[in-house]
A and B are shown apart, each in its own frame.
Chain A
Amino acid sequence: MEQREAQWGFLFISPWIIGLAVFYAFPIVASLLLTFFDASLTGAERNFTFIGLDNWIRFFNDPMAWKALGVTVRFTLLTLPVGIFVPLAVALVLNSKALVAPGLFRVLWFLPYVIPFVAGIIGWLGVIGQNGPLNTLIELFGVQDAPLWTNDPGLIYPALVLMGIWGIGSAIVVYLSGLGGVPTELYEAAMVDGAGWWASLRHITLPMITPVIFYNLILGVAGSLQYFLVPQVLNGGNGNPEGSTLFFNIYLFKSFFTYQDPSYGATLAWVLFLITLGLSLILFGTQKRWVYYAGGDR
């Protein structure tokens, strides 16, 4: 009986097992092996030579790769706080008891999440573009030459952050459900102690939703280090203005598809994977200090 059930069990999960083998196990092992080989992309001139650590040494001596890594890290430092705190602030306001029709506003703030990101890029480009409403507004305040946001290395990152702002819907929903889980008795007890709005936020709300903040932080770090699609669509990955949009994954993509070098591409992918993994482990290590799980240790 039990053996039959186990057979059925494996039968039902077999699609995922095949997927795991073909789309995870094989490619992960293969891409790690690729980093030690010199391989060509197409079957016509099949070339597969073991070259030891040459790809890794090449990475350490590749100024372009380090520059691209710097771009990605700088952008992550800017976009991560926005990605964590803007949805948190929105969720706090949407959770306010004083808000009329909260259900409607919640739906509206989630809605742009389903809009294709290319549409988001074109939409926000229209707002910040040369003749767009934002520059019209800036000119109303007496500024003569309103900036060309996407052509200015000092303004391109804020512009990129703005173009991605429609993606905050899922983080808002996750925060809202976290806020809904904070027991109301805690607020009542705080009120008895004379705590105001700020004290309640600081000493009850924020500590209680640290697991949700942590979850968004982990996803945010992984997501911003993998940043690729927006600059790829914005300028075809040409790095303009002045190399400020030459993100690490843009460089990886080019190494593979443009320069047809799968081994070096795989090496770059592993570099980024190891960095992401390392940062995640560090963040998990800090968890004990600031993340509070109401149900005890997980």
Chain B
Amino acid sequence: MSAAQGLSAEAVVAERTESRRRISTRRRILVTLGVATLTFLFFAPLFNLAATSVKDPDQVYAAGAPLYPARPKQVEVDGKDRPVVRVPQADGTFMEMVLVKPGRQESVLADPADVSKTIVWQGSWRTLENAWEFSATLNNYGEVWKLLDYPRLLLNTIIIAVVGTIGTVVSCVLVAYGFARLKFPGRGKLFQVMVATIFIPGTVTLIPTYMLFLNLGWVNTWLPLLVPTFLANAFDVFLIRQYMMTIPREHDEAAQIEGAGPWQILRDVIIPQSWPVIIAVTVFHFVYSWNDYFGPLIYLSTKPELQTLGIGLSRFSDQYNARVGFPEAATIMTLAIPVVLFILFQRYFVRGVVVTGVDK
């Protein structure tokens, strides 16, 4: 710091900014490479799922098999498929040769490019490793499609998500508008109560709620999953209300002077300006419903024909019992839709999380 003494504060800042800029190219590369590596590790399960889902099951159990989908390389010799093996060379590298005639003491190998050129190799063929070539199969997807009754689970999941989303958006917009724009006694207190309900753990209400649905005869139907969505939820009401508060009141007042009631103001003034948050809640609830596991688990446990993809997928979660490739294919088929939705609407997602997480 001694060199900087006697200089003005601005000069020090300028000097430091300059020094920061000088090292920044190297730092940029280091930081970005580090983050890219971490990101790759964070996504390792996804790559592994995708790779395994298109693998032939034999590959997974074969020793020395690569991580990418592959099959043992073969070359046709005299009308028969012969394996290609990796033959160690004197310089430590490997050479790919066709194993024409395996033997314990010596084997006949051929050049893969021209199988008529053969050599006799000294040593047991069992010590030679197989060569692999890239090979992907969609068989696992086809099998899982049938095994899971995928079309039905998909349809169930979509219906529950769509109806639940409609219920959520309609009811939450109405309630949020009430809290954001209309004055009524106890509004502040009620709003506090609403925010507080976000923190009540679900298990406290679980048992009486379940018994209520049981006595109504709704267990083993979709009603326990759908009806509550039409009665709004604190999280989404909070999100929409915060957004509506930012719409200038002059717009309402102008409409009011022209004789519009609360209903017309909501329809003609508030909703047209609230599309970003309405889209956010739509996507949020759709993905929430798509990923909901607990609701379908307790209310649809004995009705396979009404269940959702998440429940179907969990039948594969015991990896030691399922055939390799099946759980992976089923997983890819389940996560594809929320991931695509997220990529399309990621802007709204991130904003929604920020509003509920920071403003609360």
**Chain A interface residues (CB < 8 Å from chain B):** 2, 5-13, 15-16, 18-20, 22-24, 26-28, 30-31, 34, 41-43, 90, 93-94, 96-101, 105-112, 114-127, 129, 131-133, 136, 165-166, 169-170, 173-174, 177-178, 181, 188, 191-192, 194, 212, 215, 218, 222, 225-226, 228-229, 232-235, 249, 252, 256-257, 262, 265-266, 269-270, 272-273, 276, 280
Contact = CB atoms under 8 A, between A and B. Distances in A.
A23 B358 contact: no
19 contacts: A8-B182, A9-B187, A19-B232, A27-B205, A27-B209, A30-B208, A41-B214, A94-B35, A110-B353, A114-B291, A122-B330, A126-B328, A212-B358, A215-B357, A215-B360, A233-B293, A233-B314, A233-B317, A269-B201
Interface string B59-83: 0110000010000000000000000
B314 to A, nearest CB: 5
B202 to A, nearest CB: 7
B336 to A, nearest CB: 10
A118 B38 CA distance: 23
Contacts of B327: 122, 126
Interface of B: 1, 9, 12-13, 16, 24, 27-28, 30-32, 34-35, 38-39, 42-46, 48-49, 52, 60-61, 67, 171, 174-175, 177-179, 182-185, 187, 190, 193-194, 197, 199-212, 214-215, 228, 230-234, 237, 261-263, 287, 290-291, 293-294, 297-298, 309-310, 313-314, 316-319, 327-328, 330-331, 334-335, 338-339, 341-343, 346, 349-350, 353-354, 357-358, 360
Cβ-closest 4 pairs across A and B: A12-B178, A123-B45, A19-B231, A9-B184
Contacts of A27: 204-209, 212
A228 to B, nearest CB: 8
B16 A226 contact: no
A118 B343 CA distance: 20
B310 A2 contact: no
B291 A117 contact: yes
Nearest to A163: B45
B215 A122 contact: no
A13 B190 contact: yes
Given A93-B31, A194-B1, A273-B201, 12 more contacts: A9-B183, A16-B237, A27-B204, A99-B32, A99-B35, A118-B314, A122-B313, A126-B52, A165-B42, A215-B357, A215-B360, A218-B199
A269 B206 contact: yes
A5 B187 CA distance: 12
Contacts of A212: 357-358
A112 B298 contact: no
Given A5-B184, A123-B48, A233-B314, A115 B9 contact: no
B358 to A, nearest CB: 5
B48 A5 contact: no
B313 A119 contact: yes
Contact of B207 (A90, A256, A273): A256
A15 B232 CA distance: 6
A16 B238 CA distance: 12
Contacts of B42: 108-109, 112, 165
A43 B207 CA distance: 15
A215 B358 CA distance: 8
Contacts of B316: 122
B184 A116 contact: no
